[in-house]
Structure 1
Amino acid sequence: MENEASAMTDTSTSRFSRLLSAMFPRMPDFHGLLNDQCDLVVRAMDEFVAFMETGDAAKAKEVRRLEHEGDKLKARNIDVLNRSFSTPFDREDIYRAITTIDEGLNYAKTTVREMEVLGIEPDTHMLEIARLLHQGAKALQTGFARLKANPLAAERDAAAVRKTERQTEKVYRKAIAELFDPEHYAQALAERRREPGDDLELLLEPMDQAGCSSVAKGLSFVMEALKRREIYRHLSNAADHLAHAGDILHDIVVKTA
């Protein structure tokens, strides 16, 4: 009889537990989910910096592969958020964090893609900004990892992410100033032992040879400047999005600390 009573009690407890689980599902580990995204961004930035150092097409390909992996992580995390009954902090902030962290990956991928399409090789300014983006991604990774146990420390990391954006803007302005300086352009060409405008002269054949060569060199300078300006601006926007992710981390700290 005691065994039967015990079995009935266990069954009742089990049913009650299942009922509670159905009504109040266990909260997903959103800290871990966001950490997964931050870890992937850092991995992508490792490859991004390596690409800017070497111009290696294999590094660019790896950046694109990691960005596709990031799309899957973002979709997974949004699905978990949509299905969750409760969250450890504001639901909107979690959604903003998921989508904004992913933007860092998107900009790394589109930067290497645009450089391939435009035929632009990395330069020292691009490398410097890439290293700052990597630094910002690392600070973001550390901040979200600390968020659960030590949110006040995470606030310092959020500030570090925003600092890298300000540093990036300084590099961007310097790069633009040099980019539209013809003397700097001519010196860069000399260092690379490259004659500008050879491919453009085919478009100017009706002109005499001297005029054709002069105009082609001018067009080459303008086209090179516009292409590089496009990449610099893209990198600056990448820093803006990482800073936005840092702002979201700050908002979460303010609400939960």
Structure 2
Amino acid sequence: MDENTNEQGLKRKKYGIFGSFFPPKYDFEAMLVEQAERTLAGMEAFTRWMNEDTLTSPDALIQIGREVDLHRYNLEARLLEAFSTPFNRQDIYTFSRNMDYILNHAVETAREMHAFGVIPDEPIREMSQSLLHGTRHVLEGTRYLGTDKGRVEDSIRKGRKHVHAIEDIYITCMADLFQTNDAMEAMKKREIYYHLRGGGKALRMTLYIMHKAVVGLA
């Protein structure tokens, strides 16, 4: 039995008897993997931009964000057309939407840093790195949805560590920020910290939906 035949057999087993009568018209798992890959590429572009000596206009990052949005819109349109899905339809939508929020927060962070003239400090760099690593674990888990529960759960555990790291860094840097005498600088930094924390919340929700899907597929 070749690999493709075996994979088709696994999918038939996963979808059950109704899936054999009404097979999925679209490969939503592949679409989610592609979105996760594009989201990770966007996060990698974001961290590269963050490490530039002089922060240039984040036009390239904004364009990546728009392209990922188009991919998500396409997935949502297919959800409306599909009779059956590999796991809960609402979970697919929420998973895709929150994954998109991760990159959206990164794009807004870059736009505001450039507009406000905010130079990345250690908390900004650390939260950005945690978002990058967390997104990498989202991609790893998404690749094994429906085929390897253990690997998905391992990716979720690793991703959650970065969620906690972002929250810890945010609380610490905000406490330090409240001690500064430069009110204008504090206001600018607060906006940036808040967006990165928002990315962490989107990462948390993405991992939650992934876990919910794994439980449903078990």
Q: TM-score, normalising length from structure 2?
A: 0.85
2:35 is aligned with 1:30: no
Q: Does the 8 A contact of 1:52 with 1:123 survive in 2?
A: no
Cα drift, residue 159 of structure 1: 2.2
Q: In the aligned structure 2, how far is the partner of 1:69 from the partner of 1:224?
A: 33
Q: What is the aligned-residue identity percentage?
A: 31
Count of residues paired in the alignment: 197
The equivalent of 1:140 in structure 2 is: 138
Moved over 6 A (4+): none
Q: Which piece of structure 1 moves more, 36-45 or 173-182?
A: 173-182
Counterpart AA for 1:161: G
Q: In the aligned structure 2, how far is the partner of 1:72 from the partner of 1:129?
A: 27
2:17 is aligned with 1:56: no
Q: In the aligned structure 2, how far is the partner of 1:74 from the partner of 1:41?
A: 11
Q: In the aligned structure 2, how far is the partner of 1:236 from the partner of 1:32?
A: 29
Counterpart AA for 1:57: T
SS at match of 2:66: helix
Q: In the aligned structure 1, how far is the partner of 2:25 from the partner of 2:157?
A: 29
Cα drift, residue 24 of structure 1: 4.0
Q: In the aligned structure 2, how far is the partner of 1:63 from the partner of 1:161?
A: 23
The equivalent of 1:44 in structure 2 is: 42
Cα drift, residue 26 of structure 1: 4.5
The equivalent of 1:66 in structure 2 is: 64
2:78 is aligned with 1:117: no
Counterpart AA for 2:163: E
Q: Does the 8 A contact of 2:95 with 2:209 survive in 1?
A: yes
Counterpart AA for 2:33: N
Structure 2 unpaired stretches of 5+: 1-20
2:196 is aligned with 1:235: yes
Counterpart AA for 1:36: E
Q: Which residues in structure 2 correspond to 1:187-226 (within 5 Å)?
A: 221-226=182-187
Of residues 210, 215, 218 in structure 2, which corresponds to 1:254?
215
Of residues 126, 129, 139 in structure 2, which corresponds to 1:128?
126
Of residues 90, 106, 117 in structure 2, which corresponds to 1:92?
90
Counterpart AA for 1:34: L
Structure 1 unpaired stretches of 5+: 1-22, 183-217
Cα drift, residue 25 of structure 1: 5.9
Counterpart AA for 1:256: L
CA root-mean-square deviation: 1.6
Q: TM-score, normalising length from structure 1?
A: 0.73
Q: Does the 8 A contact of 2:170 with 2:193 survive in 1?
A: yes
Q: Does the 8 A contact of 2:146 with 2:214 survive in 1?
A: no
